[in-house]
Amino acid sequence: METFFQLLISGIAQGCVYGLVALGFVLIYKATEMVNFAQGDMMMLGAFFTITLINDLNWEYFPAIIAAILAMGVVGLFLERVLFRRMIGESPFAVLMVTIGLGYVLRSVAGMIWGHNPLSIETPYTDIRLHFGTVVLPAADVVVVAATVVLCALTYLFFRYTRFGVAMQATSQNQLAAYYAGIPVKRVVAASWALAAAIAAIAGILLIPLKSAYPEVGLVLGIKAFAAAIVGGFGSLPGAMIGGLVIGLVEIFTKYGIDGRVGFSVSDTSVYVLILVMLIVRPSGIFTSTQRKKV
C-alpha cells in the first residue's frame, strides 16, 4: 500500500511536468493554430537558465527561478517576433518543420554551452523526505504537485477574470471577430508565446530535481507531453493537464507493475500505445472544445 501511494505521487509529479509542457503546446495551438514541437526544448532551456544562475552565478534559489521564468518569457517573445510571426498563413507542414528545426538548434546550442553531462542544482527541498504515517514521499514530488496546482489556479483566474485573459480566449475562438472588436491580435499572439515559454521554464525548473537536466531532456519529454495534449483533446487547457496526469500515471504504473514481471521495458512504449488507442477510440480527446457554427 505504501508503495502504491509513493508511485501515485511520483506519477502525478511526473504527470504535472508533462501537463505543463502540454499546456504550452495547447496555448500556442489555440492562439495561432501552430504546433510547436520545440516546446520540450524550451523547457530544457528554462532548466539550464536556472542551473547557470544558481551554480555559476551563485544566485539564491527564488530570485534565480523568477529570473529564469522571465528570461524564458523574453525568449518566447523573441522567437515569435523573428520566427513565427513570419510563418502565419504558411502551410502547417512548413510551420512544423520550423519548430522541429528550432528544437535541433536549441538542443545543439545547449550542448555547446552546457555540455552533454546531466547537471543538477541544490534546491531548498533537495533530500527532504516527508512522512505521512508510513508513507514516505520525496519533497521534490510534493513541491511539483503543489506548484502545478498553484500555477493552474493562477492561469485559470487570468483567463477567466482579467480583461487581457478574456481577450486571449476571444482571439483563439474567433480571430477575425477579435480584430474587429479592436483586440490587438498580434500582441495577444506574442503574449501567448511568452506565456507558453514561461510555463515551459517552470516545467523545466520543477523537472531538475526529478531528472536533472541535459540537452536532450526535452526531446522525449516533449513527445510525451504532446501525447498528453492529444489525450486531453488538443485545444483544451484543463484537458492538457489531465492528459499529462494520465500519461504520468500510466507510465509509472506500467513501469513498476509490468516491467519487472515481463523482464523488458513496457513503460516506455505504454505512452505511445495510449496515444494510438486514444486516437482510435476518441480522436477528439477527453475534453472536446469543438462546436459547430450556427448558420
Partner 1 sequence: MKVAEPLLEVKNIETYYGLIAGIRGVSLEVRGGSIVTILGANGAGKTTVLKTISGAMTPEKGSVCYAGKDITGRDPDRITRLGIAHVPEGREVFPFLSTEENLKMGAFTRKNSTVNLELDRIFEYFPLLREQRKLPAGFLSGGQQQMLAIGRALMLRPQLMLLDEPSLGLSPKLVHATAEIIKSINQDQGVTVLLVEQNAQMALEIAHFGYILENGRVVLEDSTSRLSKATDVQEFYLGKKASSVRGKRRWKQRKTWR
Q: Are 201 and 68 in contact (CB under 8 A)?
A: yes
* 27 sits near partner 1 (criterion: CB under 8 A): no
What's the CA gap between 257 and 262, in Å, rounded? 10
**Identity of the amino acid at 100:** I
Residues in the chain: 295
* 131 sits near partner 1 (criterion: CB under 8 A): no
The distance of closest approach from Cβ of residue 294 to partner 1 in the complex, given in angstroms and rounded to an integer, is 5
The distance of closest approach from Cβ of residue 183 to partner 1 in the complex, given in angstroms and rounded to an integer, is 5
Q: Are 144 and 17 in contact (CB under 8 A)?
A: yes
The distance of closest approach from Cβ of residue 155 to partner 1 in the complex, given in angstroms and rounded to an integer, is 16
C-beta of 189 vs 203, nearer to partner 1:
189
Can you list the alpha helix ranges (DSSP code H) found in the chain?
2-32, 39-51, 61-79, 92-114, 139-161, 163-173, 175-180, 185-211, 217-232, 237-254, 260-262, 267-281
- β-partners of residue 130 are 137
Q: Report helix, strand or coil for 119.
A: strand
Q: Report helix, strand or coil for 138.
A: strand
The distance of closest approach from Cβ of residue 274 to partner 1 in the complex, given in angstroms and rounded to an integer, is 28
C-beta of 47 vs 183, nearer to partner 1:
183
* 166 sits near partner 1 (criterion: CB under 8 A): yes
Part of the chain binding partner 1 (CB under 8 A), chosen from 138-146, 164-172, 210-218, 247-255 = 164-172
The distance of closest approach from Cβ of residue 29 to partner 1 in the complex, given in angstroms and rounded to an integer, is 15
The distance of closest approach from Cβ of residue 292 to partner 1 in the complex, given in angstroms and rounded to an integer, is 9
Which residues ranging from 177 to 196 are in contact with partner 1 (CB under 8 A)? 177-186
List the Cα angle 194/157/223 in 5-degree steps.
Answer: 45
**Among residues 108, 126, 174, 269, the one that binds partner 1 under rule CB under 8 A:** 174
**Among residues 167, 194, 242, 278, the one that binds partner 1 under rule CB under 8 A:** 167
C-beta of 6 vs 284, nearer to partner 1:
284
Looking from the CA of 29 toward its CB, the CA atoms found within 13 Å total 22
What's the CA gap between 120 and 52, in Å, rounded? 10
Grid coordinates of 244: 499529462
**Among residues 173, 272, 277, 282, the one that binds partner 1 under rule CB under 8 A:** 173
List the Cα angle 195/199/204 in 5-degree steps.
Answer: 145
Part of the chain binding partner 1 (CB under 8 A), chosen from 88-96, 217-225, 239-247, 287-295 = 287-295
Residue keyed to cell 502545478: 148
The distance of closest approach from Cβ of residue 163 to partner 1 in the complex, given in angstroms and rounded to an integer, is 7
Strands 129-132 and 135-138: antiparallel
The distance of closest approach from Cβ of residue 235 to partner 1 in the complex, given in angstroms and rounded to an integer, is 11
Contacts with partner 1, residue ranges (CB under 8 A): 163, 166-167, 169-170, 173-174, 176-186, 289, 291, 293-295
